[in-house]
Chains A and B, each alone.
Chain A
Amino acid sequence: MLKQIKNTEGFKTIANGLWRDHPIFSMVLGICSALAVSNKVDNAIAMSGGVMFVLIATAIIISMLRKLIPLRVRIITFMIVIASFVIIVNKFLEAFFPIISLALGPYVGLIITNCILMGRAEAFYTHNNTWLSVLDAIANGIGYSYTLISVAIIRELLGFGTILGFRIMPAGWTNWVVMSMAPGAFFVLSVFIWLTRTLAKQTPD
């Protein structure tokens, strides 16, 4: 039974997105936002939600239109589709979570150039049917989210002593300010990549 499930297309797609071809560790895609918005957990959650929504919506539209999009103009078509959904995400955040929207600033708009979206659209959605594409989108979205949120948990814990604004560290804790700034992002993510690559016994590109 388990073996049967393991051999289905859908299972392979999910496993690839979550672990083997994980967008951040294995292909090093979409790390701008993984680095930039992971200073606080609530920012990371908002960003992952946004990317997840755009991934799924793009997967549906592009895999449905894949036979109609001419090869030469496909990149610009992908971009217009992605940009339209990003506008929805931006307006949604502005309306319901104004503080997070302010904190994310231009990074919401930069979901458009997040390489995960373009990469998946180019590599997967143009060749597969809608069902598989949506599965792939969900798997990649979750893969992206768990990295982003775990990096954010480490950085917020060390940089502010809190998680989601709740005090975790004891009162005498000195904040590691560098963790909340750019260098901290680089160091934490590099350790993450190192750990997962060693665990997955992956040879570096």
Chain B
Amino acid sequence: MVYLLTIFIAAIFTHNIALTYLLGMCPFIALSRNMKTATGMAIAVIFVITLTAAINWPIYHLILIPTHSELIYYIIFIIVIAASVQLVEMIMERFFTALQAAFGIFLPLITVNCTVLAVSLFMVLRDYTFLQTLFFAFGSAVGWMLAIVMVAAINEKLRLIGDIPKGYQGAAIIMVIAGIIALSFLGFAGMVKIQ
């Protein structure tokens, strides 16, 4: 139980998926101009990452390993991700119209968000058990949310001052903000350790 909590904390702070592993950067750059959009996307990501990790673990350990077909796990994982995103979209459209209006537009983008696939790949590389996978997936997604919301908030304020060199506007300044936040997150290093 303690170890599960360690994984969770580590995934948020010391091994933050956006700021330490530099994953999920495409939506990070594209969406961190506005806090509201960033939050909406992040909530959708939390949901999809936890869901797909929970589906991919049994598929990998109960189907692919017994049949000795680990070779194709990339293809299987990506199909599971694409299919579950589609499914979530359809369910939301049918039953939760309000939710759909709030973050439905972000769902198709998630298929190509590398954090989702990365969490499943880390699960295989680090040989996590099912519960560990769940905590790691949820923690990573929360960590990603923390990073994108922080960057979006700073970016919003920064644009009010509006004194950024021309070539630095847009993507480049977001990277500088993310770099400074990543620098401050280095302060968490050593707090907890995972493999």
The interface residues of chain B lying within 8 Å CB-to-CB of A76 are 79, 82
Interface size on A, residues (CB 8 A): 46
B166 touches A204 (CB 8 A): yes
B162 to chain A, nearest CB (A): 13
CA distance A47 to B123 in the complex (A): 22
Chain B contact residues: helix, strand, loop or mixed: helix
Interface core residue of B21, B113, B186 (most chain A CB under 10 Å): B21
B75 touches A80 (CB 8 A): yes
CA distance A44 to B96 in the complex (A): 45
Digit string of A45-86 for contact with B (CB within 8 Å is 1, else 0)?
Answer: 000000000000000000000000000000110011001101
**Contact with A186, one of B71, B74, B179 (Cβ below 8 angstroms):** B179
Chain A contact residues: helix, strand, loop or mixed: helix
Known contacts A87-B74, A112-B117: does B182 contact A32 (CB below 8 Å)? no
Known contacts A113-B113, A193-B175: does B180 contact A183 (CB below 8 Å)? yes
B168 touches A190 (CB 8 A): yes
> CB of A168 within 8 A of chain B?
no
A75 touches B82 (CB 8 A): yes
A32 touches B24 (CB 8 A): yes
The interface residues of chain A lying within 8 Å CB-to-CB of B114 are 32, 110, 113-114
Known contacts A87-B74, A186-B182, A190-B179: does B29 contact A106 (CB below 8 Å)? no
CA distance A109 to B183 in the complex (A): 27
> CB of A29 within 8 A of chain B?
yes
The interface residues of chain A lying within 8 Å CB-to-CB of B23 are 32, 36, 110
Q: Which residue of B lies closest to A35 (CB)?
A: B22
Q: Which residue of A lies closest to B122 (CB)?
A: A106
A194 touches B168 (CB 8 A): yes
CA distance A190 to B26 in the complex (A): 14
Of the A-B pairs whose beta carbons lie under 8 Å apart in the complex, a sample of 15, sorted by A's number, is: A28-B29, A32-B23, A35-B22, A36-B23, A76-B79, A84-B75, A87-B72, A87-B74, A87-B75, A110-B121, A113-B114, A181-B182, A193-B172, A197-B172, A204-B171
By a beta-carbon cutoff of 8 Å, the part of chain A in contact with chain B is 28-32, 35-36, 75-76, 79-80, 83-84, 86-87, 90-91, 105-106, 109-110, 112-115, 118, 178, 181-187, 189-191, 193-195, 197-198, 202-205
Other A-B pairs, 17, CB within 8 Å; known A29-B26, A84-B75, A197-B172 = A35-B22, A36-B22, A79-B79, A80-B78, A87-B72, A106-B118, A106-B121, A109-B74, A118-B112, A187-B175, A190-B172, A193-B167, A194-B168, A197-B166, A203-B166, A204-B166, A204-B167
